[in-house]
């Protein structure tokens, strides 16, 4: 193990590969695809949290108010016994599983296999909180719920439309592709609710009123249709439903859109012409589109825009940029309550039977399981008695998280399998220590659907184990068939068998190159993944946010990401280098709003919604009047909106709020973890 090993970065969904020195644990960038020798600060310091003294090193069992060590054999035996007892008393659906966007494909594959062989589809992951709205919209329109093109295609498109997404901070390395596109002549258009770092590179910067994305998308289409700038041949030969959209967008004139979105009518016309006349283009989006009650409709609207211009396949692409290193893989492996592996619906009898045969059973449950965001009500009502969580931290990551914490307390059995004693693990009856990303081997799928192999660099810390080994032990203890794995490669080979495009590929082939794409590099080049091979236009109307600002709560609260901080902070806050770069989290407040409220830069302020209050220091500027922005997960989800869209994603980007200056202050207790 003396030579540097190639591993997949444990942070965002871009999928950078790192070269890690086993002796020093120092990181250098991989020179091949997809990061081409580039890294962001998180990637450069990716191994620091692994060496933290806070690592879980042995299994723990709750005894009263204390957690005491327990052997692996005893822990697995007791957990399996309790799960089987709950199934016997209440049925399999009284048990639920939460998979992880951080662990490997193999490990997510095993957890969803355990859930379904156990008898329930109550298996979900945090994709529900981010891009599940994209999955639903993409499935309904083009037939496949994933990014359509590789990153490399960005460099050749005539325009890149970036909507509700700030890659300069969330996926810094993809900016290299975007800037190369700009150098090649592409027009960069950015739509967001505030001035972002990404806007510094834009040809067109559109600051939109929060929650009005559909109005803007429909207005852009209104201009394109009225001026006959659309791709008539593409629409006729490869789509259906255009007439519905043509009629639907007619009332969304630029003049009307200006009143609603705040973007001047002439700017809307100019941007529509620029994008349409570019000849090819990508649309990239993030949580700014999906984390609304209108999330599914928001994504449908931008897909309609792409279809209108034929910007798909070789002429363009749809890029829902994934937030975590294996959120795409977790979803593709079947860790979703409504889909089998490959986003195949549970009701697809032919594929379901195929999976069942590979797993050694007659059939699998067909009724949709609970969404991650539906679990908490089911626990409160007593319908779910046991919860098994792998590498997720819902006690911080879920909207209105005080409700989640109360639900966790009510469970008869909570098992948390993780690298650290997270906020969620504090409620557990059993805590199982998992190995970190560089202490095990396995495959991961990035946002562009590239599966890459990550090599083991060092031995697991203490008595921790790779998640796949723990889940193999659990599967055996539950008496489930097909859990005799002796290596992670055996699991890889098994999931390869599920996908026609991977059946003939070998694990050695995956290890040797720059990864393999599932199902192929570019989707929809010749036909769409729909029954008739044609894409569906679906007209959408403006959907109002769940709650609106009023006299009592006059501000709109939104959440943002920081380049040096990541999700619930379990990793980044244990990285000394990243903590130094990050500094103290602050709430962004418009200068005119701050002046009216007597707030100065650095003052302590209280931000309150109908769900509670948090305290932070103020940073003036960076947002338009009426908007306040809080960094994600620094207690923000104590007060964010729990309202769900059609895909089960909460409206984290829009809450009615109020502000007040504090004479003195300190952070909200338990701010970081």
Instruction: Give the integer Cα–Cα distance in Å for 555 and 537.
Output: 35
Pair (590, 622) in one structural domain: yes
Pair (215, 304) in one structural domain: yes
Is residue 296 helix, strand or coil?
helix
Pair (37, 84) in one structural domain: no
Whether the CB-CB separation of 244 and 236 falls below 8 Å is answered with no
Does residue 512 belong to any structural domain of this protein?
A: no
pLDDT in tens, 237-296: 999 999 999 999 999 999 999 999 999 999 999 999 999 999 999 999 999 999 999 999
Phi first, then psi, for residue 430 (nearest 5°) are -135, 135
pLDDT in tens, 74-106: 999 999 999 999 999 999 999 999 999 999 999
- Number of neighbours of residue 174 by Cβ within 10 angstroms: 28
* Neighbour-count burial of 534, counting CB atoms closer than 10 A to its CB (0-12 exposed, 13-18 middle, 19+ buried): middle
E-strand ranges in 290-365 read 316-320, 339-340, 344-345
Pair (388, 283) in one structural domain: no
Does residue 541 belong to any structural domain of this protein?
A: no
Does residue 287 belong to any structural domain of this protein?
A: yes
Does residue 587 belong to any structural domain of this protein?
A: yes
Pair (118, 150) in one structural domain: no
pLDDT in tens, 561-582: 888 888 888 999 999 999 998 8
pLDDT exceeds 50 at position 672: no
Pair (190, 317) in one structural domain: yes
Instruction: Give the integer Cα–Cα distance in Å for 78 and 261.
Output: 56
Does residue 494 belong to any structural domain of this protein?
A: no
CATH number of the domain enclosing 358: 3.40.50.740
Q: Give the percent of the chain with pLDDT over 90.
A: 93
Does residue 444 belong to any structural domain of this protein?
A: no
Number of structural domains (the chain) is 4
Is residue 405 helix, strand or coil?
helix
Show the domain range for 16. Answer: 5-51
Pair (40, 27) in one structural domain: yes
pLDDT in tens, 505-562: 999 999 988 999 999 999 999 999 999 999 999 999 999 999 999 999 999 999 998 8
Pair (186, 209) in one structural domain: yes
Pair (315, 330) in one structural domain: no
Pair (97, 239) in one structural domain: no
Does residue 535 belong to any structural domain of this protein?
A: no
Pair (295, 330) in one structural domain: no
Q: What is the mean pLDDT of the chain?
A: 95
Instruction: Give the integer Cα–Cα distance in Å for 530 and 109.
Output: 25
Pair (415, 348) in one structural domain: yes
């Amino acid at each position: 193990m003396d030579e540097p090993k190639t591993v997949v970065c444990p942070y965002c969904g871009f999928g950078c590969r790192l070269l890690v020195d086993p002796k020093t644990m120092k990181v250098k960038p991989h020179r091949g695809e997809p990061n081409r020798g580039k890294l962001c600060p998180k990637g450069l310091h990716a191994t620091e949290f692994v060496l933290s003294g806070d690592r879980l090193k042995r299994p723990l069992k709750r005894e009263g108010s204390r957690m005491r060590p327990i052997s692996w054999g005893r822990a697995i035996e007791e957990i399996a016994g309790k799960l089987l007892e709950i199934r016997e008393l209440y049925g399999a659906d009284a048990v639920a599983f939460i998979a992880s966007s951080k662990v490997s494909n193999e490990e997510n594959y095993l957890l969803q296999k355990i859930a379904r062989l156990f008898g329930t589809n109550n298996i979900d992951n945090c994709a529900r909180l981010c891009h599940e709205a994209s999955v639903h919209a993409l499935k309904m329109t083009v037939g496949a719920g994933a990014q359509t093109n590789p990153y490399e295609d960005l460099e050749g498109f005539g325009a890149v439309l970036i909507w509700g997404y700030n890659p300069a901070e969330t996926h810094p390395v993809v900016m290299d592709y975007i800037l190369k596109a700009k150098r090649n002549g592409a027009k960069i258009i950015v739509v967001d609710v505030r001035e972002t770092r990404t806007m510094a590179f834009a040809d067109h910067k559109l600051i939109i009123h929060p929650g009005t994305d559909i109005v803007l998308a429909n207005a852009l289409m209104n201009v394109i249709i009225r001026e006959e700038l659309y791709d008539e041949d593409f629409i006729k030969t490869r789509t259906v439903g255009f007439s519905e959209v043509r009629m639907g967008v007619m009332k969304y004139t630029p003049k009307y859109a200006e009143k609603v979105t705040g973007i001047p009518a002439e700017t809307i016309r100019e941007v529509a012409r620029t994008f349409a006349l570019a000849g090819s283009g990508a649309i990239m989006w993030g949580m700014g589109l999906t984390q609304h009650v209108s999330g599914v409709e928001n994504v449908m609207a931008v897909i309609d825009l792409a279809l209108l211009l034929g910007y798909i396949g070789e002429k363009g692409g749809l890029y829902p940029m994934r937030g975590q290193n294996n959120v795409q893989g977790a979803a593709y492996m079947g860790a979703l309550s409504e889909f089998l592996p490959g986003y195949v619906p549970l009701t697809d009898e032919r594929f379901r039977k195929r999976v069942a045969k590979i797993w050694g059973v007659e059939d699998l449950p067909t009724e949709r399981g609970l969404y991650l965001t539906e679990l908490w009500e089911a626990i409160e009502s007593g319908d779910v008695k046991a919860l098994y969580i792998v590498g997720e931290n819902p006690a911080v990551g879920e909207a209105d998280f005080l409700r989640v914490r109360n639900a966790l307390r009510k469970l008869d059995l909570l098992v948390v399998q993780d690298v650290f004693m997270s906020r969620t693990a504090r409620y557990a009856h059993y805590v199982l220590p998992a190995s970190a990303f560089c202490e095990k081997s396995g495959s991961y799928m990035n946002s562009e659907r590239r599966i890459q192999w990550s090599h083991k660099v060092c031995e697991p810390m203490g008595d921790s184990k790779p998640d796949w080994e723990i889940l193999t032990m659990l599967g055996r203890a539950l008496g489930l068939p097909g859990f005799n794995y002796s290596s992670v490669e055996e699991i890889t080979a098994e999931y390869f068998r599920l996908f026609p495009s991977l059946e003939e590929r070998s694990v050695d082939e995956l290890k040797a190159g720059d990864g393999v794409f599932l199902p192929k590099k570019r989707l929809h080049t010749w036909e769409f993944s729909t029954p008739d091979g044609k894409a569906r236009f679906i007209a959408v109307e403006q959907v109002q946010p769940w709650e609106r600002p009023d006299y009592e709560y006059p501000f709109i609260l939104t959440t943002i990401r920081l380049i040096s901080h990541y999700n619930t902070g379990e990793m980044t806050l244990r990285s000394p280098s990243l903590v130094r770069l990050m500094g103290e989290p602050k709430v962004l407040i418009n200068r005119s709003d701050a002046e009216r409220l007597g707030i100065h830069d650095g003052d302590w302020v209280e931000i309150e919604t109908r769900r509670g209050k948090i305290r932070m220091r103020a940073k003036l500027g960076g947002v338009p009047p009426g908007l306040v922005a809080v960094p994600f997960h620094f207690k923000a989800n104590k007060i964010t909106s729990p309202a769900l869209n059609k895909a089960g994603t909460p409206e984290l980007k829009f809450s009615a709020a109020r502000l007040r200056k504090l004479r003195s202050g300190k952070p909200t207790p338990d701010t970081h973890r």
